[in-house]
Amino acid sequence: MTDWDPDQYLRFEDQRLRPALDLIVHIDGSPAEIWDLGCGTGSITALLGERWPTAAVHGLDSSPEMIDRARRIADIDWVLGDIAAWEVAAPVDLVFSNAALHWLGEHELLLPRLTARVATGGTLAVQMPRNFAAPSHALLAEIAATPRWIDRVGDVVRPPPVAEPAFYHDLLRALFSSVEVWETEYLHCLTGTDPVAEWARGTAARPFIDALGDAAGEFMEEYSSRLRVAYPPRPDGTTLFAFKRLFIVGRR
């Protein structure tokens, strides 16, 4: 199980927030009950509560560290639990998940199961990273496959977990009255030393760091050095980081 560091994750809170906001503005109606699956530190769950202040809002995450941070936010039901095992007594109006479902496999089973928990007239709203072919993600797999590291973290590497947009359209179109699937590539302007490595340290690199223990520093230094070539600092000291994300909004 991956250990999550809320402080590291929140280092890029502004950039991570933008896709969630872009997802929220595509949600219609006035949901009475909302579940945020993979709520993390709860900052986005709080935005859902602010947009729909009369709704019963729940945030679920499998990380005790993230839920502990989220519980600083009042008036939301925080639940420690696994998305794959999530159940509700009755279908709900909004099932929301921002940057979480890519950690789970078998989307051909997962998405229909989540859809079944959406009430008639309700919405499934999902955002997932789809940046796995970019150097930020591909270099982790390349380094893990080298002789130095393969015995330690070769089994951490997995196939890209998010499919092409058409896969999700075809999977869900018969389950909703309408379904929208689209992609957006964000161009983040980052600052600081090795900012792309620091970004990944809070997300994609976490499983490698956890598996390596005391050797994680050496692995991350090799990764950082290669990222400096892939994402060179610009003359003003900033680093441009392109990041692709996939969005799904299904309405029942």
Across residues 127-145, what is the average pLDDT? 97
Across residues 72-88, what is the average pLDDT? 96
Q: What CATH architecture applies to the domain 6-251?
A: 3-Layer(aba) Sandwich (3.40)
Q: Pick from 48, 29, 47, 49: which is nearest to 93 by CA?
A: 29
Confidence class for position 16, pLDDT limits 50, 70, 90: confident
d(CA 182, CA 101): 16
Pair 31, 94: CB distance under 8 Å:
yes
Burial of 152 (0-12, 13-18, 19+ CB in 10 A): middle
The overall average pLDDT reported for the chain is: 94
**Total count of residues recorded for the chain:** 252
Q: Residue 60 is inside which H or E element, if any?
A: strand 56-61
Strands 92-98 and 77-80: unpaired
Lowest mean pLDDT among 16-20, 76-80, 105-109: 16-20
Which DSSP string corresponds to 70-132?
Answer: HTTS-SSEEEE--GGG---SS-EEEEEEES-GGGS--HHHHHHHHHTTEEEEEEEEEEEE--T
Cα–Cα separations (whole angstroms), residue 137 to 36, 141, 159, 210: 26, 7, 11, 16
Q: For residue 3, what pLDDT is reported?
A: 53
Confidence class for position 233, pLDDT limits 50, 70, 90: very high
